[in-house]
């Protein structure tokens, strides 16, 4: 039986990287790592170049345990294979990364997509760098926000004078991109009254953090993690069947 929180497997004086394997509902696999800035990839400074960084393994193991999110400690080849089959969080030695997934050590162009974290530039649609959302993306955002202003709650269904607008939380002129994580539905009154125009706390409305008055955020984070890990295993099983 897999040990959920194997902190005792962490080797002292060993360099570890924290890497997460998951997949979206469409079975598209992804990795998540801790990175640091090394430069810009374009003249507009919209795309950053970032490189994976080592972590304090004990701190990450404690964080994941506190969030009740299982993880693996990868010290050897057999551990690496198990993690590749299971997905999820892992603390992986530098030696194992260099040997099995050296591409993770390469700098890569990234863009800040939502409230926190960066996304590989190559994984974003070209429309992410257009100022205006496509009609399809606009409707996706409105539907996600239940066709209401996320600040005051007013809906066109209740008052025909209410007009909903899709707003960039991180402004396009300040390196914001046009993706769902950076867009929010606002009525024309709330939109016009934003001061400052870049109101960071709006990200919390999109992610549901501000509604966490009863402490359900940790449970939602765990559910999201389990779903991503399950999707990864499904994606891997499908890939293996095709082979």
pLDDT tens readout for residues 133-173: 999 999 999 999 999 999 999 999 888 888 999 999 999 98
Shared domain check, 146 and 92: no
Shared domain check, 18 and 96: yes
Residues in the chain: 243
Q: Which domain holds residue 105?
A: 7-115
* Interatomic CA distance for residues 219 and 238, integer angstroms: 28
| Model pLDDT, residue 89 | 97
For residue 24, tell me if it sits in a domain. Answer: yes
For residue 211, tell me if it sits in a domain. Answer: no
The answer, yes or no, to whether the previous bond of 52 is cis (omega within 30 of 0) is no
Shared domain check, 111 and 146: no
Question: Residue 71: pLDDT above 70?
Answer: yes
Burial letters for 20-39: b for 16+ Cβ neighbours within 10 Å, e otherwise? bbbbeeeeeeeeebebeeee
| Model pLDDT, residue 219 | 84
Reading the block at residue 147, the tokens are 């066709």
Shared domain check, 110 and 36: yes
Shared domain check, 69 and 18: yes
Shared domain check, 102 and 40: yes
Shared domain check, 83 and 40: yes
- pLDDT band of 240, cuts 50, 70, 90: confident
Question: Residue 211: pLDDT above 60?
Answer: no
Shared domain check, 106 and 21: yes
Shared domain check, 130 and 105: no
Shared domain check, 179 and 84: no
Number of domains within the chain: 2
């Amino acid at each position: 039986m897999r040990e959920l929180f194997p902190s005792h497997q962490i080797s002292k004086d060993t360099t570890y990287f924290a890497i997460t394997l998951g997949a979206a509902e469409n079975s598209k696999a992804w990795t998540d790592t801790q990175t640091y800035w090394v430069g810009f990839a374009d003249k507009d400074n919209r795309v950053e170049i970032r490189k994976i960084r080592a972590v304090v393994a004990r701190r990450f193991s404690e964080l994941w345990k506190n969030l009740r999110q299982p993880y693996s400690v990868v010290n050897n080849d057999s551990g690496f294979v198990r993690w590749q089959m299971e997905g999820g969080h892992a603390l992986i030695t530098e030696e194992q990364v260099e040997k099995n997934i050296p591409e993770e050590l390469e700098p890569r162009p990234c863009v800040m997509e939502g409230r926190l974290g960066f996304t590989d530039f190559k994984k974003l649609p070209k429309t992410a760098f257009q100022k205006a959302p496509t009609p399809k993306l606009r409707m996706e955002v409105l539907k996600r926000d239940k066709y209401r202003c996320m600040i005051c709650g007013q809906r066109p269904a209740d008052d025909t004078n209410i007009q909903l607008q899709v707003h960039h939380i991180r402004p396009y002129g300040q390196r914001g991109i046009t993706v769902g994580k950076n867009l929010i539905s606002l009525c024309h009154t709330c939109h016009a009254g934003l001061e400052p125009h870049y109101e960071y706390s709006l990200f919390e409305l999109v992610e549901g953090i501000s509604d966490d008055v009863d402490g359900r955020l940790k449970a939602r984070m765990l559910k999201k993690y389990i779903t991503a890990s399950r999707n990864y295993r499904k994606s891997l099983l499908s890939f293996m069947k095709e082979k």
